[in-house]
Amino acid sequence: MTKQIKTDICVIGAGSGGLTVAAAAAAFGENVILLEKGKMGGDCLNYGCVPSKAMIAAGKQAHAMRKANLFGISSVEPNVDYSAVHDHIHAVIGAIAPNDSVERFESLGVKVIQQAGQFKDAKTVVTANGKTEITARRFVIATGSSAAKLPIKGLDDVDYLTNETVFSLTERPQKLVIIGGGPIGMELAQAQRRLGADVTVLEAFGVLSKDDPEMSAVVIDQVRRDGVDIREGVRIARVERPHNRVEHPHGAKIILSTLSADGEETGGEEEIEATHLLVAAGRSPNVEGLGLENAQIKYDRRGIKVKSNLKTSNSRVYAIGDVTGGLQFTHVAGYHAGLVIRSMLFRMNAKEDRSIIPWVTYTDPEMSHVGLNEEQAREKHKGVSILRWPYGENDRAQAERKTEGLIKIIIDKKGVVLGASVVGANAGEIINMWSLIVSQKMNVKAIAGYISPYPTFSEIGRRAAISYYGDLPKKPMIRRVISFFKLFG
């Protein structure tokens, strides 16, 4: 017999957003059921943010050993034990996993059902095994996204890697080809290269093209200096099985042609052999199998359609995080969760504001951004000014030999900060303060007036803000005022 359960809130998906909703709702005394068909913690913990940053950290350590001579210490070529790197990555996952475990959430009062959920109708979800039907006052869909399937001839005939499998490797890839030059592709390309792999990145358009070109150019230059072969403007005609499939089960022969600036083929084909092929070109929302049509929930290939308050076309159902097709970051899912909690429990009119959402690309140097970029600001505002300050003029950067990069601040004609971008060491940490500044619509005068401890990387932001007043000493009126005050002694 099918078990019937009535509850206040049913959350589908135990990734970052779903876990946040479930924990918060339970803390306020709501009856919560959480459905998860895979691993608790979702993509971020198991296949995304956590393992990738652990791998990047290993790559940085190897790179530091090669560059030790900059500090008067003998440089050495590190002996990378790739199996031990694998163990390090999974030890990090294991250390965090208890925070997201079934046991912890049940201790918080959440009923966890380790099954997929599918809508039977507008107010009922049934588990995949058919044993449980859940009727809830509110539903939250937080099923995330997966690596996009690319329409490349022959790709399905090879055992390529994605973010869900690449961190399971226990042997270093000899020749790694990555399809996709976005943040994920570039982060993993640099990390794998620093761990000793021969790496090629294939990108149909421009690498890191969604970021400010001035900032991304700094990252691209460093990744190339690390030895990654980056090829932009290429079309992959087809993929074939490798000659030695037993020795290289994740390998492939990639046949590509070069494209012109307008997307036309320039003629000729080139073959690239890979011992390992990694597909990192975009993400697709996890909507399949949810029975969204049964619940009258509108969606398309980009994700579930939501209003600014994250409600779907079914007013009793919310959708948050990657499955909505917006900015695909873990912290966005957490932000969405907070908005939904305010809406569901307190009936507040909480709406998403994408203009205050920051993001970071965890290459070395890091690249971060919040708010409007220069092009967007000039389209929306008149009298926009750009303030810059280079890492090379920062004393801490000089001491640590990390002088590549800059901060770029966009302000309107009244001095209100519209956006900020940072490329350089600790850019992901530096952007935190600027996220607060943009979200609160603060004026650059406030930043120029605060005291920054010395020496810190964050000081570059204050120096950029002070440059707003750089022309004051040259103004005749200011000089006349100073001369006037001299008359009084």
Question: Was 143 annotated as part of a binding site?
Answer: yes
What are 162's two structure tokens?
């994605």
Name the one residue in this structure whose structure tokens are 């009084």. Answer: 488
Question: Was 230 annotated as part of a binding site?
Answer: no
Quick one: how far is CA 182 from the chain centroid? Answer: 10
Residues 6+ apart with CB under 8 A from 34: 10, 11, 14, 18, 19, 22, 105, 110, 111, 112, 113
Give helix 330-346 / helix 16-27 axis angle, nearest 10°: 30
Question: Was 117 annotated as part of a binding site?
Answer: yes
Give the pLDDT of residue 430.
98
3-state secondary structure of 334: helix
> Rounded to an integer, what distance in angstroms lies between the CA atom of residue 352 and that of residue 300?
20
Give the pLDDT of residue 261.
61
The two domains 3-40+101-147+284-354 and 155-281 share their CATH topology (first three levels equal): yes
Cα 213 to Cα 184, 259, 326, 364, 423, distances in angstroms: 17, 20, 22, 16, 11
Strands 299-300 and 406-411: unpaired
> Rounded to an integer, what distance in angstroms lies between the CA atom of residue 7 and that of residue 316?
13
Give the pLDDT of residue 488.
80
> Rounded to an integer, what distance in angstroms lies between the CA atom of residue 427 and that of residue 364?
10
- Residue 98 DSSP symbol: G
Question: Was 59 annotated as part of a binding site?
Answer: no
* The total number of residues written for the chain in this structure: 489
Quick one: how far is CA 218 from the chain centroid? Answer: 18
Mean pLDDT, the chain, rounded, equals 94
- Write out the CATH class of domain 3-40+101-147+284-354: alpha beta
Give the pLDDT of residue 10.
98
Residue 251 CA neighbour count, 13 Å, CB half: 18
Q: Which pLDDT tens digit goes with each residue over 248-277?
A: 778 888 888 776 666 676 667 889 999 999
Pair 258, 174: CB distance under 8 Å = no
Question: Was 183 annotated as part of a binding site?
Answer: yes
Its sign, for the CA torsion 207, 211, 213, 215, is negative
* CA nearest neighbour of 358 among 369, 366, 350: 369
Residue 88 CA neighbour count, 13 Å, CB half: 15
> Rounded to an integer, what distance in angstroms lies between the CA atom of residue 78 and that of residue 84?
13
Q: Where are the domains of the chain?
A: 3-40+101-147+284-354, 155-281, 365-473
| Three-class secondary structure assignment of 112-178 | EECCCEEEEECCEEEECCCCEEEEEEEEEECCCEEECCCCCECHHHCCCECCCCHHHCCCCCCEEEE
Give the pLDDT of residue 249.
76
Give the pLDDT of residue 245.
66
Q: Which pLDDT tens digit goes with each residue over 133-163?
A: 999 999 999 999 999 999 999 999 899 999 9
> Rounded to an integer, what distance in angstroms lies between the CA atom of residue 34 and that of residue 134?
11
Report the DSSP beta bridge partners of residue 6. 135
Give the pLDDT of residue 259.
66
| CATH number of the structural domain 155-281 | 3.50.50.60
pLDDT along the chain (489 residues), means of 10: 94 98 98 97 96 98 98 97 98 98 98 97 95 97 95 91 95 96 97 98 95 96 98 92 74 78 72 93 95 98 97 98 95 97 95 96 98 94 96 98 98 97 98 98 94 96 91 74 75
Question: Was 371 annotated as part of a binding site?
Answer: no
Give the pLDDT of residue 246.
64
Task: For 280-436, list the strands marked E by DSSP.
Answer: 283-285, 299-300, 303-304, 317-319, 359-361, 366-371, 385-390, 406-411, 417-424
Question: Was 322 annotated as part of a binding site?
Answer: yes
Question: Was 53 annotated as part of a binding site?
Answer: yes
Pair 155, 250: CB distance under 8 Å = no
CATH topology for the 365-473 domain: Enolase-like; domain 1 (3.30.390)
What are 364's two structure tokens?
């070395």
Question: Was 181 annotated as part of a binding site?
Answer: yes
> Rounded to an integer, what distance in angstroms lies between the CA atom of residue 448 and that of residue 232?
40
Pair 250, 273: CB distance under 8 Å = no
Give the pLDDT of residue 462.
95
- Residue 308 DSSP symbol: T
Amino acid at 465: A
Question: Was 324 annotated as part of a binding site?
Answer: no
Pair 276, 164: CB distance under 8 Å = no
